[in-house]
Amino acid sequence: MAKKPKLLIVADTYYPKVDGTMKFMEEFIKRSADEFDISLLVPDFGIKTKIPGVKEITFIQPSKILKVSGYPNLKLSFKNIKKIRSAIQNADTVFIQGPALISYLSIYYSSKFEKRTIFYVHTIAWELFAKFFPKIFNWFFLNTIKRLSVMMYNRCDTIIVPYHELQTELETAQVTTHTTVAKLGVDIIRFSPTTEKRAYKEKIGIDPKHFVIGYVGRISKEKNVTVLINACKQLSSEKPIHLLLVGDGPKNQTNQCKSHHGCTVTGFVDNVPDYLKAMDLFVMPSSTETTSLATLEAMATGLPVIASKVGFIKNYIVKDYNGVFFAKESPAMLTQKIEKIMNNYKLRETLGLNARKTIAYSFSWERSITKIKKVLLNP
């Protein structure tokens, strides 16, 4: 029997975070454990749950001081560096999920030890960090992060991106590494429409008479959740409204959301489909995205979607067919879009049906991960 190649998956996120990168890792490992001997190099956020199919996990201690978007950064210590070096030396191929210090240090050592290095671009680093620096220093820091990111990308053997336009963006940024496209997917069995919406609202403690406006993802500056909250404050509808935010983030931002009347913040949950099925409308107000797996999952659940026109979202949402766009920094426009959909049952139904069709037809985990495995297995 042929020996399986040793694959080290590196990420700057891990449980209890349940973000798009974690979902991707779960789906990839589930479909790849037969072909690879899989190990993980991830931060220790206090929960050391092992994903089925993973042979070994190396946990890296995070900093207690430095945090970005609710994620503690890597603690720069001799012990952490030693762990990173050792994990990489034991691998045949290093599969990076990015885009913070664990990933970038792993690229450096993977290149140094001449390991094959593949990077999947889940997030554009310089866009992600755009809202986290004082405006007076913004240009300097973002330019520095962009130059560092491009330098790291160019140390990789292959970069995988979730949509074609991102290839052009990286080339414009002077990334010279070969890139290939593998879209993210959705489990359309797990994320499916329901005819029991009232029951799902009751299950999570929401009055079934309320119209539920939902969001799934990090509650952080780059996700623009405050734009959604401000839009809901301006709603003039007589219908009772409930705002359901499925996710977690820095305490000051989650507390601000919780202070809004009629708003539930769940924290990270492992039964996202139940929460989506309780929603009547899904909003993705983010200022930066690549694919937005949360939006794809909402569409697969048959929800009408309002989204900002960013990343790949502007390609797979077709205006007034399977979703609606709004100007990402405009609560007033978002309010108008919400009221339009909220007050028109036929429009909600049509958008939701077409959203489901779009995902079922075009977004398959099997196709995506089959392509990624080919990249990883064929130098």
Same domain for 177 and 288? no
Confidence of residue 16 (pLDDT cuts 50, 70, 90): confident
Per-residue model confidence (pLDDT) at position 132: 62
* Percent of the chain whose predicted confidence (pLDDT) is above 70: 94
pLDDT of residue 67: 61
**Looking at the structure, do residues 175 and 311 belong to the same domain, yes or no?**
no
| pLDDT value of residue 359 | 96
* 235 assigned to some structural domain: yes
Residue 242 covered by a domain = yes
Give the CATH number of the domain where residue 16 resides: 3.40.50.2000
pLDDT of 71: 61
Q: Are 80 and 73 in contact (CB under 8 A)?
A: no
Q: Which are the contacts of 36, defined by CB distance < 8 A and separation ≥ 6?
A: 4, 5, 6, 7, 376
Q: Judge if 257 and 290 occupy the same domain.
A: yes
pLDDT of residue 135: 63
For 11-20, 33-42, 167-176, which range has the lowest pLDDT when averaged over its residues? Answer: 11-20
Residue that wins the pLDDT comparison between 289 and 213: 213
Residues 344-370: tens digit of each pLDDT: 999 999 999 999 999 999 998 998 999
Domain of 102 in residue numbering reads as 6-185+364-377
**Residue-wise DSSP of 300-356:** HTT--EEEES-TTHHHH--BTTTBEEE-TT-HHHHHHHHHHHHT-HHHHHHHHHHHH
Residue 28 maps to a domain: yes
Within-domain flag for 1: no
pLDDT bin (cut points 50, 70, 90) of residue 131 is low
Kindly state the average pLDDT of the residues 129-145.
Answer: 68
Q: How far apart are CA 321 and CA 214, in angstroms?
A: 20
Report the alpha-carbon distance of residue 99 to residue 13 in Å, rounded: 10
What would the mean pLDDT of 182-198 be, rounded to a whole number?
95
**Residues 314 and 261 reside in one and the same domain:** yes
- Please say if the pLDDT value at position 128 is more than 80: no
Least confident piece of the model among 25-34, 182-191, 233-242: 233-242
176-191 average pLDDT score: 95
Buried b (16+ CB within 10 A) or exposed e, 191-211: bbeeeeeeebbeebebeeebb
Which range in 15-24, 132-141, 191-200 is most confidently predicted, on average pLDDT? 191-200
Instruction: For residues 240 and 327, give the distance between their C-alpha atoms in angstroms, rounded to a whole number.
Output: 25
Question: Same domain for 173 and 220?
Answer: no
pLDDT confidence bin for 66, thresholds 50/70/90: low
Phi-psi region of 247 (alpha: psi -120 to 50; beta: other; left: phi over 0): left
The answer to whether residue 19 scores a pLDDT higher than 70 is yes
CB atoms within 10 A of CB 46: 10
160 with 15, same domain: the answer is yes
Q: Do 152 and 203 reside in the same domain of the chain?
A: no
- Whether the pLDDT of residue 138 is over 70: the answer is no
- Report pLDDT digits (tens) over 27-56: 999 999 999 999 999 999 888 888 999 999
pLDDT of amino acid 69:
56
Judge whether 140 lies within some domain: yes
Residue with tokens 């430095």: 66
Peptide bond into 16 cis (omega under 30): yes
Residue 192 lies in a domain: no
Per DSSP, 50 falls in state P
- Specify whether 352 is located in the same domain as 277: yes
- Average pLDDT rounded to a whole number, residues 322-340: 94
From the list 145, 143, 149, 155, the residue with the least C-alpha distance to 170 is: 149
Residues 158 and 80 in one domain: yes
> How many domains, the chain?
2
Residues 236 and 176 in one domain: no
CA distance 160 to 273: 27
| Structure tokens belonging to residue 196 | 């029991």
How is residue 260 written in tokens?
């809004």
DSSP E strands in the chain: the ranges are 6-10, 37-43, 54-60, 62-68, 71-74, 93-96, 116-120, 158-161, 179-181, 211-216, 241-246, 263-265, 281-284, 305-308, 324-326
Res 270: pLDDT: 85
pLDDT score at 40: 98
- Segment among 246-260, 263-277, 292-306 with least mean pLDDT: 246-260
If asked whether residues 358 and 368 sit together in one domain, one would say no
Domain presence at residue 191: no
Same domain, yes or no: 234 and 312: yes
Q: 77 lies in a domain?
A: yes
